[in-house]
Structure 1
Amino acid sequence: MVEQAAADAQRQTVQRPNASRLRREATPLRLLPYLIIAAILVLNTATTHDEVFTPLLAAAPALAGIGTNQVWRPITAGSIAACALLAQHASHPSPEDVTQLFVIVGLTFASAAAVTLWDRQQRELDVVRAIAEAAQRVVLRPVPSKVGPLRVAVSYRAATKGASIGGDVYDVARTPYGVCVLLGDVCGKGLTAVRTGADVLGAFRELSRSERDLASLAARLDLTVSHSVGDGRTQEGMAAFVTAVLLRVPDGGREAELVNCGHPSPMLLKDGRAMSVDPPRTAPPLGLLDLSEGAYRVDKVPFDSGDTLLLYTDGVSETRDGAGTFYPLAERLPRLSTTDPQALLDALGAELGAYARPGPSDDAAMLALRRR
């Protein structure tokens, strides 16, 4: 499935021109080389010191190659610059003119080669991004807006502009025991983190429907992470693990079951107040259960009709402003509270974007659950 989606994305990328590249080509920068040539010709005509301005003709092909994927632009600018040089000094050529002509020709070919290389790299980057987006859509499936007794909304913000794939994972599954929810953050970056995240999601989708006990489900996911990372180390030499929150909401009742595996505590919005759902006991992240000699335990969380639970990764809680102050989530969240989970995440995402300075430093995933 991933291979087919990646192939489709690659075909679409090759057939569709890069919009940002076309916008760059439409800027007035394209006219600058020819304005320089015209200005030099005017200055040479108005003064007897043409040796001062003529060498600047070599700048025309170099400038023409900026922000374009069309190799004919620097070649055209270089040809016009060379013709202008020959026309100016045709009646009294000098050795300096020959040197300047070679400089113009050399810069023209260098600029054309740079444009060709840049265009090739952009095409390869477009294909890689399209494949990454296709893989992300396969790994992180769309979450339905209504599941059992819940209204659900999800939001993902990449720290790197243009990126759409990372180590934050989430899913919502309808099971015989209620609605089961997972939100996790994989330690590490790159393809290793993506692979581990995909393994965790695959195991969750299968085991959540067969494991009645949420603590047992967490222990099975811990084994999945341990097997996925192999030697238990990331490429940076750190212990590999996944912080995660597992939540199960039965169809009836006024409580939910929660297992927190070393993850930031969820926030409960109830009666206009925001409360941090802190576990009474610490539990290790997935993949580190054997090292800690601990165990996962299920905690009961009050979750009545009209309540909202916000699950999030540390990219939210560790958002900093210019002074290095963390975003005050518990303080700000009640002001944003709405009856619509998606509207809540939209408002929170806008606040985080405005608060982060100089910009987001980590990926941020959020999952809002409102009990109907």
Structure 2
Amino acid sequence: MLRSPWARLAAPLAFVALLLGGDLAGGTSIRIGGLMIAVPALCAVFLGPRQVLFVTVVTFGCVIIAAEDNHQFDSANFPVVIGTVVLIGVGAVTAASIRARRERQLAQARWVATVAQQVLLRPLPARLGTLSLASLYMAAEEEAAIGGDLYAATVLDSGEPRLMIGDVQGKGLGAVEVAGFLMTGFRRAARRRVKLADLPDYLDRRLREDLLDLAETAPPAPEGVRAAPRSGPRLLEGFVTAVVVDVDDGGRRLRVANCGHPPPLLLHGGTVRRLVPEVPALPLGLGDIGEERHDVDTYALDPGDVLLLYTDGVTEARDPDGAFYPLADRLGAWSADPPEALLRHLREDLLLHAAGSLGDDVAMVAVQRPA
């Protein structure tokens, strides 16, 4: 694939020169100069307007040379050929200008969305209470809208750390906005001293209220314009998978509330344990489906143990053969590493597995109790 701007420009010019050479070599019996007319139109797909204009001018000159060699100046068809070159050239330059403008608009929108997400996902502190902490966010490498992966951490009035990781349904600015709602609710719940057992229901209700307010206040789309995915009734169908963890009893115990999210992994003495909830629960935002019960599971956290929270962008990353990333199997090799080194190794190994191209955003948080 031609990445250099000069290489992309040289390719169509070389093709025009090749067609001209074939036309001149074939004499009057073989006329392929007419194929040159299609080159500017094809260039509009990958070249800028100025480059397309340059290719059009070169093509025009080559058509003149071919016509002179074939003694076509006096033919009735020659003005049609010249008019066709000019018409296609003008259309190609116009199309390239429109494409370039839309690419700039898309790049600007992606930049704004990325900045908004980075504001929400500031790196977590290296220590939270007695715990060592590290966080990681990786945007998808493919040409896709940003996702709604999120993480947050706080210290309760009791001095105990509380962590959350989540994944919003969908992508784009709407997902970032929903992530902001959930993180605001998470911090508000800590200030209001909401207990972990009550937190999923609290977050679910707050999230549905925020989504309803947003849907009701969103302006209608103009006639003939498709409604933006961040507004309207579709928002009410959204949900967020999440895991919230309290580390209490002086850092010796984990209390986990899982709302439809991939189970956390606990590294203990070189082994990896999946903390699967005893009672599965619906994701946040779906509480109106029916009365939902959110249980809290309790696990021991021994000195040196590491808890890994992650989004499904990790486990659903595929290698070139389509195999998913075996997170639990790979994690044991770095169980003795501190959180920051652990996430660094995971990042390198994940990118190696996916050949450098992630299909979805990735968020991870590693927590360690000091040995």
Matched, 1:35 2:14: yes
Which aligned segments of 4 or more residues in structure 1 are displaced greater than 6 angstroms? 231-234
Matched, 1:210 2:192: yes
1:207-230 CA-to-partner distances (Å, cap 9, x unmatched) read 213315222233321211221233
Amino acid at match of 1:32: A
Q: CA–CA distance in 1 between the matches of 2:210 and 2:325? A: 33
What runs of 5+ residues in structure 2 fail to find an aligned partner?
216-230
Q: CA–CA distance in 2 between the matches of 1:330 and 1:117? A: 48
Q: What is the match of residue 48 of structure 1? A: 27
Matched, 1:61 2:37: no
Identity of aligned residues (%): 34
| C-alpha displacement of 1:123 | 1.1
Amino acid at match of 1:81: T
Q: Secondary structure at 1:169's aligned position in 2?
A: strand
Q: What is the match of residue 220 of structure 1? A: 202
Q: Describe how 1:248-259 pairs up with structure 2 within 5 A.
A: 248-250=246-248, 252-259=250-257
| C-alpha displacement of 1:124 | 0.5
1:11-47 CA-to-partner distances (Å, cap 9, x unmatched) read xxxxxxxxxx9x54132x3123433444455445444
**TM-score when normalising by structure 2:** 0.81
Q: Describe how 1:135-284 pairs up with structure 2 within 5 A.
A: 135-159=116-140, 161-163=142-144, 165-177=146-158, 178-211=160-193, 213-230=195-212, 239-250=237-248, 252-284=250-282
Contact 1:143/1:171 (<8 A) preserved: yes
Q: CA–CA distance in 2 between the matches of 1:234 and 1:242? A: 18
Q: Secondary structure at 2:134's aligned position in 1?
A: strand
Q: What is the match of residue 8 of structure 1? A: none
Query: Residue 81 of structure 2: which of 75, 79, 100 is its match?
Result: 100
Amino acid at match of 2:41: A
Q: CA–CA distance in 2 between the matches of 1:57 and 1:240? A: 52
Q: CA–CA distance in 2 between the matches of 1:36 and 1:188? A: 43
1:152-194 CA-to-partner distances (Å, cap 9, x unmatched) read 2222344462556322221111332221111112234444433
Q: What is the match of residue 222 of structure 2? A: none
Matched, 1:81 2:63: no
Q: CA–CA distance in 1 between the matches of 2:164 and 2:176? A: 16
Q: What is the match of residue 285 of structure 2? A: 287
Query: Residue 312 of structure 1: which of 293, 310, 313 is its match?
Result: 310
* Higher alpha-carbon deviation: 191-200 or 165-174: 191-200
Q: What is the match of residue 109 of structure 1? A: 90
* Higher alpha-carbon deviation: 98-107 or 189-198: 189-198
Distance change >3 Å, CA 73–CA 164, structure 1 → 2: closer
Q: CA–CA distance in 2 between the matches of 1:120 and 1:248? A: 49
CA RMSD of aligned residues (A): 3.3
Contact 2:272/2:332 (<8 A) preserved: yes
**TM-score when normalising by structure 1:** 0.80
* Higher alpha-carbon deviation: 197-206 or 248-257: 248-257
Q: CA–CA distance in 1 between the matches of 2:188 and 2:21? A: 76
Contact 2:185/2:207 (<8 A) preserved: no
Q: Secondary structure at 1:52's aligned position in 2?
A: coil
Q: CA–CA distance in 1 between the matches of 2:78 and 2:64? A: 8
Contact 1:85/1:97 (<8 A) preserved: no
What runs of 5+ residues in structure 1 fail to find an aligned partner?
1-20
Contact 1:266/1:309 (<8 A) preserved: yes
Q: CA–CA distance in 1 between the matches of 2:137 and 2:182? A: 18
Q: CA–CA distance in 2 between the matches of 1:57 and 1:158? A: 42
| C-alpha displacement of 1:302 | 1.2
Contact 1:268/1:276 (<8 A) preserved: yes
1:45-67 CA-to-partner distances (Å, cap 9, x unmatched) read 44422651321332443355453
Q: Secondary structure at 1:287's aligned position in 2?
A: coil
Q: CA–CA distance in 1 between the matches of 2:78 and 2:300? A: 85
Q: What is the match of residue 369 of structure 1? A: 367
Distance change >3 Å, CA 97–CA 36, structure 1 → 2: farther
Q: CA–CA distance in 1 between the matches of 2:139 and 2:232? A: 21
Q: CA–CA distance in 1 between the matches of 2:318 and 2:52? A: 45
Distance change >3 Å, CA 116–CA 172, structure 1 → 2: same
Q: CA–CA distance in 2 between the matches of 1:92 and 1:153? A: 74
Matched, 1:349 2:347: yes
Contact 1:25/1:67 (<8 A) preserved: no
1:198-255 CA-to-partner distances (Å, cap 9, x unmatched) read 1110111222133152222333212112212339999669854322111122482421
Contact 1:310/1:369 (<8 A) preserved: yes
1:131-170 CA-to-partner distances (Å, cap 9, x unmatched) read 1012112222332222222222222344462556322221
Contact 1:283/1:296 (<8 A) preserved: yes
Query: Residue 5 of structure 2: which of 15, 25, 31 is its match?
Result: 25
| C-alpha displacement of 1:120 | 0.6
